[in-house]
Structure 1
Amino acid sequence: MNKLVKIILIVIGLLAAVLWFSLPSADDPNAINSGSMNFMFIIMYILLAIAVVSAVFFGFTKLLSTKGSLKKALFGIGGLAIVVAISYGLSSDNAQVVTEMASRGIETTEGTVKNIGMGLNVFFILTVVAVVLMVFPGLKKMFVK
């Protein structure tokens, strides 16, 4: 099986190299419609699909086969849901932003502004949590010994 995967990867790599050298120049206005460009996108989509399917498959098999991992995963998903709920509560549906976007010609709603604010708040909260989880154990090691 391992040899078969290596052979397939070598063939895909050689095919991609041939397609790379057969690409039209960047100055060509019809470059996006070339056959080699389309075939490279097809290869990319196939490889992306294989990566997604294998990641989901092996992730679920590991999740269901390891004792206690399902409980940890549910705690993680619950924690993420709490962070999203807190972020949604902290975000505002600012009407001034909606009118400013409308004056620039971008149609939006207060719900969209609230969702964008929620996404930013989730990002900031998770960034702070990640930094704390990286820094705290290092500081603990420095001062405990």
Structure 2
Amino acid sequence: MSKIIKIVLIVLGVLSAILWYQLPGRDVPASEAVNSGAMNFMFIITYLLLAIAVAVSLLFTLKNLFANPKSLKKTLMVVGGFLLVVVISYVLADGTDINLEEMANRGIETSETTVKRIGTGLNVFFLLVVIAVGSMLYGGFKKMTNK
């Protein structure tokens, strides 16, 4: 298996080097350079390698996660806590924070749902920051009082 992976990586490396030399020069206008076949194939190779890396890392993460019941329980608690933060943020978000007519006059078409989703994202960010700072302060305080 290791030899196959090495051969595939060597082939991809040689192919990428060939495509690199076929890229358009600096004097080619950007509108023409975007349609370059070499550039498109390089993007395809990049996306392929990225997909393989994500799939392998996800596979090994899930394998290790399900191998240890304690880590699975802890992970599920963290995911549940994050979902709780998202639900709280959604409840706290208000879709009427801005004047939708004024946004439409400026050429930005939006809806109350979009504004509520943006508010939810901001609330999630701020709540997670508060939780992170609070946990750092709690850990530091706990260390100081134990000694």
Output the TM-score relative to the length of structure 2: 0.82
Separation in 2, partners of 1:19, 1:101: 46
Alignment-mate amino acid for residue 15 of structure 2:
L
Match of 2:109 among 100, 107, 110: 107
Alignment of 1:113-124 (within 5 A): 113-124=115-126
1:73 equivalent to 2:75? Answer: yes
Counterpart position of 2:51: 49
Alignment-mate amino acid for residue 83 of structure 1:
V
Structure 1 unpaired stretches of 5+: none
Counterpart position of 1:9: 9
Alignment-mate amino acid for residue 19 of structure 1:
L
Structure 2 unpaired stretches of 5+: none
Separation in 2, partners of 1:11, 1:71: 42
Aligned length: 145
Alignment-mate amino acid for residue 69 of structure 1:
S
Distance 1:135 1:47, change over 3 A: farther
Alignment of 1:88-103 (within 5 A): 88-94=90-96, 96-103=98-105
Separation in 2, partners of 1:134, 1:23: 49
Tell me the percent identity: 53
RMSD value over aligned CA atoms?
A: 2.3
More moved, 78-87 vs 126-135: 126-135
Distance 1:98 1:56, change over 3 A: same
Alignment-mate amino acid for residue 2 of structure 2:
N
- Preserved CA contact (<8 Å) 1:93 1:114: yes
